[in-house]
Amino acid sequence: MSAVPPSTRKVGLITCVFLVLAIVVGNGIYTNLGLQLLSVSSNFTILALWLIGGICALCGALSYAELSSLMPHSGGEYYYLSRIYHPALGTTGGIMTQYGGMIAPTALASMAFAKYVSGIFPSCPPTLIAIALVTVITGTHLINLGFSAGFQDTITALKFLLVGTIIFLGFRYATQSPTIFLPTSSSLKELFLPSSGVTLLFCYYAYAGWSSATYIADDVSSSRKTVGRSLIIGTLLATLIYLSMNAVFLMSAPSEELRGVIDVGHVVATHLLGAHGGNVMAVLIALGLMAGVSGMIWVGPRITQMMGKDLPALTFFDHVSSTNVPVRAMLLQYVLVVLLLLTSSFKIVLVSSQFTLICCQIMTVFGVSVLRKKQAAAPDASQEIFRCPLYPLPSIIFIGVSLLALGYTISTNPLESGIGIGVILFGLALYPLFRRG
């Protein structure tokens, strides 16, 4: 039997689930806890907020699963918003997603990688480390689709072997009992304080990426079913991992030593394994962060490529190599990530990018209701169509929590929110230019 040509190869459910997990379980798991402890003190509150974040992400995944079943094509929010509302909104959504969901998170994960590596090798400049990481992984994904899928599966499997090891060591050697997570009257009060809303933002940010498989739908076999299933399975597994990892971190190291710390994993590993073992584990955590960087570098250019199919000014980026790689779009993303690494701080990138992504996801999830109304009089064209269970409850939960997240972001980070609004207005202003060519 002859080999399958690179241009016709497809990826399956396992690769899609791995992709979702690789991007969702990224730098957030190793960095957010230290920042969250600046706002809340109760261990119960921390885990409760991570669970709420997971439920919200699952509601979004269920909504996107229906959209991916009805519109099984690459591009994610760009494609959905263009077809449901208007191409102008889709173009804006594409720019918002590219910045908030791919370029900025790639820079963030690279910064986190550099933070762990430079903590062990202080003589290495963090920015140079981050740029080197992005350069190497971009070069890897320029080879072909099959190699990208195999590379992504391999480093994601290694990443979660590491996660499993940390969870095992934590529950076995942690110095504190799981009883520290039992609710008390004070912890229940804290859960409803404004400070918990700020903490929930970090959880919300950490789950970003649950929609990853929608960006490569054209490269997925049986995409009507596979993409949606991967979103749901990946989000459920990510929620379980986040709850387990944060429980291990809180049981393994005193909160005082974790509070305000970015490289939380290094502190926890040092408590579990000693100074030498902590350094070894920090290196492994840094390698685990590569999986998230790799996933975003792989799928991000598919958004630009899809925009190039529709918009005359971007047809240059519609080009795909003989090995099914959008080389030009990938190189554009590489340049933008490097520019962000050279010019922006961790907090500005994190908050401004997630502000735009939340806005985009709210419009997309609401699109389920719009699409159902448009298609109310039409019978199902396929028996494979997935319908969001308990509709419209998942959409209501997701949109409600997302609006709260936007409100907290604006009130607590006005500068970063302003940058996010600027990105949205920039996208709207560019549409007429893109359309004319």
Tokens of 151: 């590379």
End-to-end distance of the chain based on CA atoms, in angstroms? 45
Q: What is the pLDDT of residue 27?
A: 66
Task: Indicate whether 421 pLDDT > 80.
Answer: yes
Question: Among 348, 315, 290, 362, which residue's Cα sits nearest to residue 97?
Answer: 362
pLDDT band at 279 (very low <50, low <70, confident <90, very high): confident
pLDDT in tens, 292-323: 899 999 989 999 999 999 999 999 999 998 88
Contact 293, 212 (CB under 8 A): no
Structure tokens at 270: 């040092």
- The more confident residue out of 347 and 429 is 429
Closest CA to 274 of 297, 251, 253: 253
CATH architecture of 6-436: Up-down Bundle (1.20)
Residue recorded with tokens 């393994």: 252
Span 201-210, pLDDT tens digits: 888 888 988 9
Host H or E run for residue 20: helix 13-24
Q: Alpha-carbon distance 188 to 169, whole Å?
A: 29
Specify the range with the lowest mean pLDDT, choosing from 78-92, 110-124, 167-181, 376-390: 376-390
Distance CA 434, CA 181 (A): 53
- What is 238-270 written as a DSSP string? HHHHHHHHHHHHHHHS-HHHHTT-S-HHHHHHH
Count the helices and strands in the chain (H runs, E runs).
17, 0
Rounded mean pLDDT, 29-47 = 88
pLDDT given at position 377: 53
* Residue 88 CA neighbour count, 13 Å, CB half: 9
CB 414 within 8 A of CB 347: no
Residue 45 · residue 383 · CB < 8 Å: no
**pLDDT higher than threshold 60 for residue 3:** no
Q: Select the more confidently predicted residue: 169 or 58.
A: 58
- Domain coordinates in residue numbering, the chain: 6-436
404 pLDDT tier (thresholds 50, 70, 90): confident
- Whether the CB-CB separation of 238 and 21 falls below 8 Å is answered with yes
DSSP code string of 342-395: HH--HHHHHHHHHHHHHHHHHHHHHHHHHHHHHTTTSPPS-TT----TTTTHHH
pLDDT band at 1 (very low <50, low <70, confident <90, very high): very low
CB distance 323 to 160 below 8 Å: no
- Of 152, 162, 156, 153, nearest to 116 by C-alpha is 162
Question: In 103-193, which residue ranges form alpha helices assigned H by DSSP?
Answer: 104-120, 126-141, 145-173, 185-191
Cα–Cα nearest to 201, from 429, 42, 357, 423:
357
pLDDT one-digit tens code per residue, 81-140: 999 999 999 999 999 888 888 888 898 889 888 887 887 778 889 899 999 999 999 999
Q: Can you give the C-alpha Rg of the chain in angstroms?
A: 21
What integer pLDDT is reported at residue 4 of this predicted model?
46
Within its chain, how far is the Cα of 258 from the centroid?
Answer: 23
395: which 2 tokens?
Answer: 């959409």
Token representation of residue 368: 């389920």
As a whole number, mean pLDDT of residues 330-349 equals 87
